[in-house]
Amino acid sequence: MSNRNRAYLVNRRRSQTWALGIVLLPGLLLACGDPSSSTPDAQPPDSDILSDPLSMPLEPSLDSSKFKGAQSCGFCHENHFKEWKTSMHSYAMVDPVYRAMVKIRQEDFAGKEDKFCLQCHTPIGTRSGDIQPGFEFDQLEAISLEGVNCETCHTISSIERPFNAGLAMDVGGPMRGPIQGASPSSAHESEYSELFESSLLCSSCHDVVEVSGLNLERPYAEWLESPAAQNDMQCQSCHMKTYTGKATASSSERELHEHYFVGVGLPLEEGFLSAQEFEEMRIRVANLLQGSATITLDASAVSPGQQLDLFVTVRNNIVAHNLPTGATFNRQVWLEVIATDADSNVIYQTGTLDANGDLGNYWSDEEPFGDADLIEYGSRFTNEFGTPEIFSWRAKEHHSNSLSPLYDRTNTLFIPTSANARGPIHIEARLRFRAFAPYVLRVLGLPQYVDRIEIFDIDSISIDVPLDPA
C-alpha cells in the first residue's frame, strides 16, 4: 500500500508575472492586500479598477446586440439547446451561491474588482460594458444572464492564456465548431476549428487564478500532466459524450456531442429545472461519480480489548484530473467509516454528520474538530493567521490533498475494542461527495438551500474482522 500522493501546496505561483504585471495596475496592490483600506461608497477613479485588456476591458470591446441568444439557436439546434439549458453553463449567472459570493466580494473591494468574478461566468457581459462597478444582477441584460451561452463558446477564435477567461471572441464571425464542411445555413456561416476538439478550449475558463496569484481551480493544469493528455484524451470525451444524430432537423446524420456538460453540480435554485429534468440530471451526475474512485479496506484479526488497525485506501480512477477537481474548496469528499460488534454496538465512527448536517471539522457549530479522525479529500483556504477561510480573496494560502489521476492514498484508523466485545467486527466504509457544505450556505445567508444538497456515494465497501480470543 503506497502513499505516493503527498499533500501539496496549490499556490505554486504559475502566473505571478501575469498577475502582478498586467492585471494589477500600479497602486492597486495595497488596496488588494488589505480590503479594509478601501473606502466604501467612494466612486473609484477608472485607473483604480481591476482590468485586463482581453477579459475585463475598461471600455467595451464588443457589442452585446450582436448576440442572438441561445433560444434563437434552439429553433434549429433543438437538442443542443435542450441539453445546454439544463447545464451548469446556463446556470452560471443564475446560481444563488455565485450571486451571494459575488455580492460579498463587491462589498469587500468597494466595487473595484467587480469584473473579476464575471470574466468566465459571462464573458459577453464583462466585455460589453454591462458589468460595471456596483452592478446588480437583477439589472443586467438578458444576454449577460445567459451565462456561458452558445455564442460565447462558438465565437471563440483562439485561447490567449489557459486561465482567467483568456479567450478571444470573433463576434459577428462564423459559428466555429467541429464539423468540417458543414452544410450552409441562412442563420450563420460555419467554420471548422480544431480548438473545439481540444481541452485547450475549456482551459481558459476552467483554470482560475485569484488576483493574489493563488491557484483556485486547475483541472486543465492537472490534465496537462495526466495520462489522459499523453493519450490524446480530451475533456470532451467524458464531459461531452458522442451520439449519432442530426445537428438540425433537416441535416444529415453525423456524430454529435451532448451539451449537458455533466459535472458534480445540481442547481440549488428551485424552478431552474423541472422535476423531471432535475431527476435526469441527478442520475447523470451519479453515473459520472460512480466508479470515479475505489475504496479498499485491510485489517488483521485482533483479540478483544486490543486495538484494530484499519488500513483504508482510496484510489482516484479518473485518468484525466484530480478527485475532486475544479472548485475543490467548496466540494466535500470524505470517508465515512462505521464499525459495529456482533451485538450491533457501534464501537467506532468517523465521517458522520452532526445535527446541522456538517462534518466534525473546524466549521462544525456543534463541536468544532469533534471528529478527530475525519479524512477529507479536497482543498481549503487559510488566511494570514493560518485560520481556515471560505472566500478565496481573503485567503493567503490554498492547501490541497485531492487525489491525482490514478493515484491512491492509504490512511490508518485505530479502532478500539473492549475486553468483552464479541466479534466479528463489521466495518462499513463509504466515500461520500457533496457539492456544498451546509455551513457555507448558512454563512452566505442561504439556509433555505441546505435541504437541496445531494450526497452521492462514490464507492462503498464492508468487511468483517474476526475477534480471536487471546
Regarding 191 and contact with ligand HEC (CB under 6 A), the answer is: yes
Binding to ligand HEC, residues 435-454 (CB under 6 A): 435
The distance of closest approach from Cβ of residue 175 to ligand HEC in the complex, given in angstroms and rounded to an integer, is: 4
Instruction: Quickly count helices (H) and strands (E) in the chain.
Output: 15, 20
**Residue 248 binding ligand HEC, by CB under 6 A:** yes
434 binds ligand HEC (CB under 6 A): no
In this structure, which long-range contacts are made by residues 81-87, counting pairs with CB atoms below 8 Å and at least 24 apart in sequence? 81/150, 83/258, 83/259, 83/260, 84/149, 84/150, 84/259, 84/260, 84/261, 86/260, 86/273, 86/277, 86/280, 86/281, 87/259, 87/260, 87/261
- The distance of closest approach from Cβ of residue 417 to ligand HEC in the complex, given in angstroms and rounded to an integer, is 35
Chosen residue from 238, 338, 406, 453 binding ligand HEC by CB under 6 A:
238
Site for ligand HEC in 116-175 (CB under 6 A): 116-117, 119-121, 123, 148-154, 163-165, 175
- 297 half-sphere exposure, CB direction, 13 A CA radius: 25
Site track 42-61 with ligand HEC (rule: CB under 6 A), x = hit:
--------------------
What's the closest the beta carbon of residue 121 comes to ligand HEC, in angstroms?
5
Residue 103 cell numbers, joined: 455580492
Site string for ligand HEC, 315-354 (x = CB under 6 A): ---xxxx-xxxxx--xx-----------------------
Q: Which of 10, 23, 201, 312 binds ligand HEC (CB under 6 A)?
A: 201
Minimum distance between the CB of residue 414 and ligand HEC, rounded to whole angstroms? 29
- Rounded to the nearest whole angstrom, what is the least distance from the CB of residue 267 to ligand HEC in the complex? 8
Nearer to ligand HEC, 151 or 341 (CB): 151
Residues near 420 by beta carbon (within 8 Å), at least 6 away in sequence? 304
Return the residues of window 254-313 that contact ligand HEC according to CB under 6 A. Answer: 254, 256-257, 259, 261-265, 288-289, 292
Nearer to ligand HEC by Cβ, of 55 and 417: the residue is 55
Residue pointed to by grid coordinates 483600506 = 37
Grid coordinates 480470543 are at which residue?
A: 469
Q: 205 in helix, strand or coil?
A: helix
Q: Cα 19–23–28 angle (5° rounding)?
A: 100
d(C-alpha 382, C-alpha 363), whole Å: 13
Range 350-379, binding ligand HEC (CB under 6 A): none
First to last CA, the chain: 28
d(CA 176, CA 169): 11
Q: In terms of CB distance, is 338 or 406 closer to ligand HEC?
A: 406
